[in-house]
Chain A
């Protein structure tokens, strides 16, 4: 009974619940992307992720040629609290079964 209730998917956040303890992809405002293991979340999409890889994409303008240079900066963080108001989308891991 309890397991049936746990696995029922009725609303969007139910899909996030099923991703607990799995690696998810999060797209954020200001050209940021995160990949990490989901340890906690709430209804605002505040989250705690573990083993996080953040990718930031920046566009700079070359001083001489005025050409756009697209750069990506990567870093890893052991544990990160992410405030929900910056979240654009969350993608659960692909299941092949």
Chain B
């Protein structure tokens, strides 16, 4: 429940969600559920020049580098989206949304089986 609670507190902030298919989507965190499914608003696909590795072929069956480019193109017309928790690799967090002391305490509580 630690991360579910954490992400709930993060609602309204801008995050970058990086997926296992190497797509990265930036947007305002709209909501999150217990599976860590995520809804983003005002989404935009992250500039691929900045993240050259984002367009490499991933563990999934992308046919070629070009295919991912097309998905990027496609992303332009999607303004808000639901991302299944299981396809998330990373979420880049805003520094002002990270309270280190709070996280340490919550983690120790969780580790004790709380």
Are any A and B Cβ atoms less than 8 Å apart in their complex? yes
Could you list which residues of chain A lie within 8 angstroms of chain B, going by C-beta atoms?
6, 13-14, 17, 20-21, 28-30, 39-43, 46, 48, 50, 56, 58, 73, 75, 77-83, 85-86
The docked-state distance in angstroms from the alpha carbon of A29 to that of B58 is 10
Inter-chain CB contacts under 8 Å: number: 80
The docked-state distance in angstroms from the alpha carbon of A95 to that of B108 is 21
Cross-chain contact B106 with A40 (CB below 8 angstroms): yes
Q: Which of B86, B97, B100, B108 has the most CB of A within 10 A?
A: B100
Q: What 7 pairs between A and B have smallest CB-CB spacing? A: A81-B91, A40-B103, A79-B93, A40-B107, A39-B103, A73-B53, A79-B98
Partner of B98 from A6, A21, A50, A56 at Cβ < 8 Å: A50
Whether A85 touches B3, Cβ cut-off 8 Å, given contacts A48-B93, A77-B92, is no
B residues less than 8 Å from A17 (CB atoms): 107-108, 111
Minimal Cβ-Cβ distance residue in A for B93: A79
Whether A83 touches B103, Cβ cut-off 8 Å, given contacts A48-B93, A58-B56, is no
Could you list which residues of chain B lie within 8 angstroms of chain A, going by C-beta atoms?
2-3, 6, 20, 36, 51-53, 56, 58-59, 85-86, 88-95, 97-98, 100, 103-104, 106-108, 110-111
B residues less than 8 Å from A29 (CB atoms): 59
